[in-house]
Structure 1
Amino acid sequence: MQRALRILVLALIATLAVLWGVAWFGREPGEPLGDAFVRQIARLTGGEAPAPAIPGSVQLPGSMSLGGPFTLVNQEGRPVTEADFKGQVMVAYFGYTFCPDVCPTELGGIASAMDLLTPAEAAQVTPALFTIDPERDTPAQLKAYVSNFHPRMVGLTGTPEQVAEAARRFRVFYAKVERPEMSEYLMDHSSFIYLIGEGGKVTALLRPQTPPEAVAAAIRAQLARR
């Protein structure tokens, strides 16, 4: 069973790597890499990727579905599923606590976006870090880490199999990077921000380095649709 799961994860990583490569070499002049990536997926699924409605967002083609049910463990050590966030808009980022630069930058941007919301709006939003490094990101490690960003932010971890399944549903690329000169391994990973609604389904996808103002606008757009 574990061998089959490893093969599945490796196949997923290889597929995503190929798609990223095709997106990189096939993007239009000035086209963000994130848009090119989604456009390549749209081609495979027979859909079309319309122009983004909100600055920084990537419109998902109608035939493309991201996200879904997940079973993980929160920073308090309690098992949680997508049902625990019913009625909330989740602002999710897949990263890890030992990330040296990109993850804290993106999570800081999400925290700044939360501060732009009114108290009533913020009460309907849960920012979340989904780890892609379950080996080191224990609940206690996540609890200490996410508390540095925003009081409403949650950290989600799990077994390697649970984390891999969540990443598969959200089509997140990640891989361990180890070199002899490194004292600690790093994790290579995609860096989108996901807005998640009912059933764990992605309702909006935001590119890396989307300004907090645009993230807040995307959140408000999701709240207005409820």
Structure 2
Amino acid sequence: MKRSNFATAARAAVVGIALAMGASPAFAGGPTARPLPPDSVYQLALPLTDQAGRTADWRNLRGKPRVVSMFYTSCQYICPLIVDSGKAIEHQLSPAERGRIRIVLISMDPARDTPAALRKVFDKRGLDAGGWLLASPPAEDVRAVAGLLGIRYRQLADGEFNHTSALILVDAEGRIITRTEQVGSKPDPAFIEAVRREAAKRS
């Protein structure tokens, strides 16, 4: 059985971020979790540090469908459109559907995307802590998570990135359902329908 292993001293922080990410208190410590499907992205043990400075394994995201993408906070062009995409998706959903879906943006630039940098974007864009998570992984894990999500990126000499602009829908168990590369304020209708189908399920 796959289990999240956190130090006892960090358990309070783990519970806090698990709740913020939408996980149940019973799952926060991980010991009661069912085995993960073999094709779940959560097979990768990935610590994430969020916009509030809390760190926990992303397997605490398990339990609700997620719309996941990668971005970096200093991006002036595509990444703001990725945020626009997430907000547009929210606007297409009913309150009940929004309560079942979380949007997760993972940084590809953890060296600069500190909790303060993440928080600045979070606040500037008026994101809802109940529906959004901005987080940075350890630098050594960026390529692994990008590979899992099918996101290509390359850092340029000036510190900027060339990268895939994609939104990935994963189900409550972390299996990839579908993806779209349509970003901006007009969401992909087929992607919205897939999100609604996942939101209608009960894990």
Contiguous gaps of at least 5 residues in structure 1:
1-64, 180-184
Against the structure 1 CA distance between its residues 205 and 159, is the aligned structure 2 distance closer, same or farther, given a 3 Å change threshold? same
* Superposition pairs of residues 101-116 of structure 1, within 5 angstroms: 101-116=77-92
* Superposition pairs of residues 83-94 of structure 1, within 5 angstroms: 83-94=59-70
Bigger proportion of residues as helix: 1
Instruction: Compute the TM-score of the two structures, normalised by the length of structure 2.
Output: 0.69
| 2:119 maps to 1:143 | yes
Query: How many Å separate the matches in 1 of 2:89 and 2:103?
Result: 10
| 2:178 maps to 1:194 | no
RMSD value over aligned CA atoms? 2.3
The share of aligned pairs that are identical, in percent, is: 24
Deviations 1:185-208 (A, max 9, x none): 211111110112234332221123
SS at match of 1:198: coil
Residue 187 of structure 2: aligned partner: 212
- Is contact 2:40-2:173 (8 Å) kept? no
Greater Rg, structure 1 or structure 2?
1
Deviations 1:55-112 (A, max 9, x none): xxxxxxxxxx573333222222222223322222111111111111111112112112
Query: How many Å separate the matches in 2 of 1:153 and 1:90?
Result: 10
Give how far 1:159 is off.
1.6
Deviations 1:16-72 (A, max 9, x none): xxxxxxxxxxxxxxxxxxxxxxxxxxxxxxxxxxxxxxxxxxxxxxxxx57333322
* Superposition pairs of residues 38-187 of structure 1, within 5 angstroms: 67-68=41-42, 69=44, 70-147=46-123, 148-151=125-128, 152-179=131-158, 185-187=159-161
Against the structure 1 CA distance between its residues 66 and 88, is the aligned structure 2 distance closer, same or farther, given a 3 Å change threshold? closer
